[in-house]
Amino acid sequence: MHLRHILHALGRHRIAVGLLVLEIAFSCAVVCNALFLIGTRLERMQRPTGVDEMHVVEVGVRSVTPGTPEATMAQTRTDLARLRALPGVSDAVVASSTLFGDSVSFSGVSLSDDAKAPSLAVAQYFGGAQLARTLGLKLASGRWFNPDEFVSYDALQGGASGVPVIISRALAQHLFPGQDAAGRTIYAFGANRVVGVVDRLVQPRDYGAAGGYDYAMMFPVDLPYSRGTYLMRVDDPARRQAVIGQALQALKADGPLRLISPRYATTLEAARAKYYRNDRAMAWLLVGVSLLLLLVTALGIVGLSSFWVGQRRRQIGIRRAIGASRRDIRTYFQAENFLIATGGIVLGMALAYGINLVLMRHYELGHLPGYYLPIGSVVLWVLGQLAVLGPALRAAAVPPVVATRAA
C-alpha cells in the first residue's frame, strides 16, 4: 500500500477532501466539547452532600393563622413527638433550610470581632437536637451539641452570645488551615465557639462552579414548625413514601388550621432529582446532539465515498485487471478515509481547544482535559471506517472486466 499514491489521488479531489476534513474537524471539536460539558454536568449532579440522602424525607407545614410563639412551639413539640412515634422513623427534627430547597441563608463569618475584618458568606442551618442524627452527618473532630446548648430562634437573632457552632470540614480548613478548628472561635452571631467539625455539609443550593459549595455551618436552635421544615430519618428507604403518607395524616389529625399537603412533602432523593432536572435534560440533549452530529458526519462520508467509487469504477476495473486483489481495493478506500479522518482530527483538536476557550470565558468551565482528545480521535476514526466500509466493499466488488467495457 503506497500512501504516496493515495495522497496524490486525494490531491486531485481537493474540494471534496477539504469538505470532508472540515466536516470531521468540526464534529470532532463539537463532540469533544459536548462530552466535556456532559462530564461536568454529571459531576455536578453527583456531588455528595454529606447527608445520608436515601434515609431522609421532609414535610413542610405552612401555618395559616399565626398563634402566639409559645403555642406554636408547643404545637411543634407535639408534632415532633407524633412523627418520632411513627413506625420506621428513628428521628424527627425541624430545620431552617433543607437540601435542594428554596431557601438559603448566609451569614458573614470572620475571625475577629473587628467590624473591618474580612468576612466570608457561609450558608447556615438552624435545627433542633436531632438534626445531625437525622441527616446522618459524620463528625470529623470535636463533639455534637449538648442538650443545654439549644437556644430559641429569637434569642439567636437577638444576638444571644456564645452560641456554639458546628462547621463543615471544608470551611474549617479554609478558616484554620492545617489546624484543628474544634475549640476555636468564629464571629457570625457574635462570638461562636466551634465545638465540632463534620466531614461534609454543603449549601442547600448548588450554585455551580462559584466555589464555597461545601462551606456550611449549623447552630443549635429549637425552631417552631413555622420557621422550618420537618425532617425525618426513615430506617428502610423502601418505606419512605409510606412514612410521608403517615406523617401527613398524623400532622393533619391534630393541631390548628394549617396547610398540610403532599406538595410540601418529598424524599431527599426526589428533591435532588428535581433540583438537577435541568442539568439532566441538558446532558441528554448534548448526548442526542452529539449522536446526531456523528450520524450526519457518517452520512456525509458515505455519500462522498459512494460518489468517488462510482466515479472511479473504470480505474478500479483497470487495477483489478492488472492484478490488484479485492482486498487491495478495499484497503485502498479505507486507508484513504483514515488519512482524511486524521487530517480532520488534527484540525478538530485545534478547533476543540478554540471552542473550549470560548466556553471557559462564558461558562466558567475548566480546561478541556487532554484525555478527551484521544477519545474524540478514536470515535471519529472508527466512525470513518464504519462509514466507508459500504462504499469500499462496493468498490471491491467491481469486476476487472469493467476495464475493457467502457472505453
116 interacts with other proteins by CB under 8 A: yes
Which span sits near other proteins by CB under 8 A: 13-21, 47-55, 93-101, 195-203? Answer: 13-21
362 interacts with other proteins by CB under 8 A: yes
* Contact (Cβ atoms closer than 8 angstroms) between residue 402 and residue 317: yes
* Contact (Cβ atoms closer than 8 angstroms) between residue 89 and residue 234: yes
The torsion angles phi and psi of 236, rounded to 5 degrees, stand at -115, 115
Q: How many angstroms from the chain centroid is the CA of residue 67?
A: 42
Given the DSSP bridges, would you call strands 216-222 and 120-127 parallel, antiparallel or unpaired?
Answer: parallel
Among 6, 10, 23, 234, binds other proteins (CB under 8 A): 23
Which span sits near other proteins by CB under 8 A: 171-179, 191-199, 303-311, 385-393? Answer: 303-311
End-to-end alpha carbon distance in the chain: 27
Site string for other proteins, 163-202 (x = CB under 8 A): --------------------------x-------------
354: its cell numbers = 478554540
162 interacts with other proteins by CB under 8 A: no
- For residue 58, the one-letter residue type is E
Among 6, 10, 26, 231, binds other proteins (CB under 8 A): 26
Site string for other proteins, 32-71 (x = CB under 8 A): --x--x--------------------------x-------
Among 210, 238, 257, 322, binds other proteins (CB under 8 A): 210
Any idea which residue has 476495464 for its cell?
403
Strand partners, 221: 151
286 interacts with other proteins by CB under 8 A: yes
Q: Choose between 64 and 322: whose C-beta lies nearer to other proteins.
A: 64
28: its cell numbers = 470532532
366 interacts with other proteins by CB under 8 A: no
Binding residues with other proteins: total (CB under 8 A): 45
Least distance to other proteins, CB of residue 358, Å: 9
Least distance to other proteins, CB of residue 50, Å: 21
30 interacts with other proteins by CB under 8 A: yes
310 interacts with other proteins by CB under 8 A: yes
Among 9, 45, 248, 293, binds other proteins (CB under 8 A): 293
Say whether 98 sits in a helix, a strand or coil: coil
349 interacts with other proteins by CB under 8 A: no
How many angstroms separate the CA atoms of 330 and 393, rounded?
Answer: 6
56: its cell numbers = 431522609
How many angstroms separate the CA atoms of 233 and 240, rounded?
Answer: 9
Q: Choose between 209 and 382: whose C-beta lies nearer to other proteins.
A: 209
Q: Choose between 74 and 299: whose C-beta lies nearer to other proteins.
A: 299
79 interacts with other proteins by CB under 8 A: no
For residue 313, count other CB atoms closer than 10 A to its CB.
17
238 interacts with other proteins by CB under 8 A: no
* Contact (Cβ atoms closer than 8 angstroms) between residue 99 and residue 128: no
For residue 11, count other CB atoms closer than 10 A to its CB.
9
How many angstroms separate the CA atoms of 407 and 404, rounded?
Answer: 7
Which span sits near other proteins by CB under 8 A: 52-60, 116-124, 163-171, 315-323? Answer: 116-124
Least distance to other proteins, CB of residue 386, Å: 16
112 interacts with other proteins by CB under 8 A: no
How many angstroms separate the CA atoms of 384 and 337, rounded?
Answer: 6
Please provide the DSSP assignment of 190-251 as one string.
EEEEEEEEES----SS--STTS-TT-EEEEEEE--GGGSEEEEEES-GGGHHHHHHHHHHHH
For residue 70, count other CB atoms closer than 10 A to its CB.
9
Task: Summarize as ranges the residues that interact with other proteins (CB under 8 A).
Answer: 15-16, 19-20, 22-23, 26-27, 30, 34, 37, 64, 108, 115-116, 118-119, 157, 159, 189, 207-210, 278, 281-282, 285-286, 289, 292-293, 296-297, 299-300, 303-304, 306-307, 310-311, 362-364
